[in-house]
Amino acid sequence: MLAFTLRRAVQAIGVMFAVGIIAFSMFRFAGDPVNQIVSIDTSAAERAIVRKSLGLDDPVPVQFVRYFADAAQFKFGVSYQFRQPVSALLSERMPATLELAICATVFAMVFGILMGVYSALKRDTVLAKLFQAVSLIGISLPTFLIGILLIYLFAVTLGWLPSFGRGEVVKLGWWTTGLLTLSGLKALIMPSITLGLFQMTLIMRLVRAEMLEVLRTDYIRFARARGLTTRAIHFGHALKNTLIPVITVAGLQFGSVIAFSIITETVFQWPGMGLLFVQAVQNVDIPIMAAYLLMVSLIFVTINLVVDILYTVVDPRLRATVGRAA
């Protein structure tokens, strides 16, 4: 088990290394970084000084090692547009993004699983068919459109919810949270739904399909032949078997929730990492873009690792094979 975890951790470091190369090469790909720092009328001598002070005259591998070593300590350099350390900018924006992503995922999981189980067990009811239809809309409508429609309905027409921003936030150490104020909570509702709707419909369809599959298995038939209650069969035996693929998908989707929060954050002007990234793209602020790339991949890799470990907790068969392989 430990060997398994270690092996996966080494693989994760390998992936991060590869992403590091890509992030690093972005600096060169977008032209000479010195040009982006200095103004047009700077003399060549001054440029050389800047180049030297930033270590840009060192050989490329040396620069890469330095960049990677700094990045491993969460030092991503200084933003071109804000003239502030990128790590400070990111850590200031991260709570907003994580809070939004977690709320969206919880929303997606809770409603996705509930609706999925319901539409599997009561397949022929009107409500189940309605869920199916709605899920089709959820899967096919683009995120920004859903966001704009929600804003139009609940912020503009009804005036119930704020159309942008995070509302009032409370500072807990370096973390800022909108969960403790009413305006913060209200501001969280629409972005969470917008961001989580796609995952919700995905999870719902997955749970429904898996549940129907599991209900056809021999062990469910045998459980019925043993006279277990319907409740025990559906929610004990069937649901647990259904949840294995759901964990994978929900876990992997959490990464994309964070990555795709760019769109939602732009629509709702949510002060998170995604909005920061969009602004960085508009201003060719490469340190932020590179750091964002690294952060998102770190989150992805970490989630993958956690999902792999979670599997073995849920499925004893995997525990055995993992133990044997190790």
Partner 1 sequence: MTEPVLSVRNLQVEFASRRGTLRAIDDVSFDIAKGEVLGVVGESGAGKSVTGLAVIGLIDPPGRIAGGEIHLAGLRIDNLPPEEMRRVRGKRIGMIFQDPLTSLNPLYRVGDQIVETIRTHLNLSETAARRRAIDLLAEVGIPAPEKRIDGYPHEFSGGMRQRVVIALAICAEPELIIADEPTTALDVSVQAQIISLIKRLGRDHGTAVMLVTHDMGVIAETSDRVAVMYAGRVAEIGPVQDVVKNPLHPYAKGLMGAIPTLAGEDKRLVQIPGSMPRLSAIPRGCSFNPRCAFAFDRCRVERPEPLQRGAQAVACHLYDTVPAESAA
Residue range at the interface with partner 1 (CB under 8 A); choices 127-135, 162-170, 185-193, 230-238: 230-238
Binders of partner 1: how many residues, by CB under 8 A? 23
Question: Could you give phi then psi for residue 253, rounded to 5 degrees?
Answer: -65, -25
Span from 61-69, 164-172, 184-192, 228-236 in contact with partner 1 (CB under 8 A):
228-236
Determine, following the binding rule CB under 8 A, whether residue 1 of this chain makes contact with partner 1: no
**Residue pair 299/291 in contact by the 8 Å Cβ criterion:** no
130-136 LR contacts (CB < 8 Å, sep 24+): 131/204, 134/201, 135/201, 135/204, 135/205, 136/201
User: Nearest to residue 134, comparing CAs of 195, 200, 192, 194?
Assistant: 200
Looking at residue 284, its amino acid is: V
Closest distance between partner 1 and the C-beta of residue 86, in Å?
Answer: 45
Considering beta carbons, is residue 192 or 241 the nearer one to partner 1?
241
User: Please, how many CA atoms are within 13 Å of residue 302, restricted to the half-sphere of its CB?
Assistant: 9
Our CB check for partner 1 shows the closer of 84 and 125 to be 125
Q: Tell me: does residue 52 bind partner 1 (CB under 8 A).
A: no
Query: Of 143 and 242, which has the nearer Cβ to partner 1?
Result: 242
Whether 238 contacts 213, CB under 8 Å: no
What gap in Å lies between CA 99 and CA 97, rounded to an integer?
5
Contacts of partner 1 in 241-300 (CB under 8 A) = 241
Tell how far CA 261 is from the center of its chain. Answer: 7
The contact pattern for partner 1, residues 300-319, with x = CB under 8 A and - = no contact, is --------------xxxx--
Q: What is the nearest approach in angstroms of partner 1 to the Cβ of residue 208?
A: 19
Among 132-140, 202-210, 212-220, 273-281, the segment contacting partner 1 (CB under 8 A) = 212-220
Distance from the Cα of residue 191 to its chain's centroid: 14
Q: Which is nearer to partner 1, 34 or 228 (CB)?
A: 228
Q: Which of 217, 269, 284, 326 binds partner 1 (CB under 8 A)?
A: 217
Q: Which residues contact residue 21 at a Cβ distance below 8 angstroms, ignoring those fewer than 6 apart? A: 64
| Residue from 73, 158, 227, 282 in contact with partner 1 (CB under 8 A) | 227
Summarize as ranges the residues that interact with partner 1 (CB under 8 A). 217-219, 221-230, 232, 236-237, 240-241, 314-317, 320
